[in-house]
A = this chain, B = another copy of it.
């Protein structure tokens, strides 16, 4: 089992291993489990057996759980059980489930202990690290939430192999991004021919990817500076998710967004990393996008919560390992969009 420390205001550890359910440590005796209703029964049964929660709340699978209505219902379930302040809220599921569960923990009785057991690659390498919790609104994703660190995170990589291959590929986008933000090693591992949910080095890949994010958020827990680099590829990605009404998954949108970031960075004088991001996009085989104009996505980009009153900034990648939050002229952003659209069309038709 690998253990990765996350620092900041409330330090905790992310544990990555195989068959680790029996190693999960919950300090609180009274426990609620919030669980994605789409999980395999064997995963849920193992956790129930090990942790004996007194309240189990099944929530809709994936993003469908991140609504204010589901949030209100989960809170009422905890209140009806009269769970006190020294209880634990444990979230078992993908990043959406842990975002919801974390926000419930952050706000039930003004805050109780949170623990997360991510069952997806995306949930393990992204949502589980950094204390962000939240909900979506009809107006956009993650527009509501709180910073609330879990007391501990446990990811059993055997869970990852029980989910559909597309869910696993989805999480690869963040692992690949973490490779771009450091030395490129994680990019190579994701693109290696034997990589997948059964890969023998999976514990290390997951733990290494967790560590990249952990190191960034340890230095900038409240996203006041450096942490913004984790948003590489995400500004366009959020717009693509919104404009397709989540017809593309988060990982697919990030795959598209990383290729866009590579094009924009090259156009603005950086090294040409577009071959690498194109290889990843081919690996990802994302759901095709509808025909899009810059004018379709520009207003959504302006609403991105990383925007401030002075305009939108993009994370650029002048070279591997050096990401920079930069204010970009709209003309450059829209020109890169046209280039990107053409490149994507060619990439995804040429080898299908």
Name A residues whose Cβ lies closer than 8 Å to a Cβ of B: 29-30, 68-69, 71-72, 75-76, 79-80, 82, 84-87, 103, 106-111, 132, 134, 137-140, 143-147, 302-303, 305, 307-309
Contact = CB atoms under 8 A, between A and B. Distances in A.
Given A30-B309, A71-B68, A303-B82, A146 B107 contact: yes
Contacts of A72: 68-69, 137
Given A110-B132, A132-B110, A309-B30, A82 B144 contact: no
A144 B108 contact: yes
Contacts of A108: 143-144
Given A79-B137, A85-B305, A146-B146, 4 more contacts: A72-B137, A103-B107, A106-B146, A111-B147
B110 A140 contact: no
Copies of this chain, count: 2
B308 A140 contact: no
Nearest to A87: B309
Contacts of A69: 72
A308 B191 CA distance: 51
Contact of A144 (B107, B137, B139): B107
Nearest to A72: B68
A23 to B, nearest CB: 24
Contact of A75 (B87, B111, B144, B305): B144
Contact of A138 (B76, B132, B143): B76
A85 B310 CA distance: 11
A303 B84 CA distance: 8
13 contacts: A30-B309, A75-B144, A84-B308, A85-B305, A87-B309, A103-B107, A107-B144, A107-B145, A108-B143, A109-B305, A110-B132, A110-B134, A110-B145
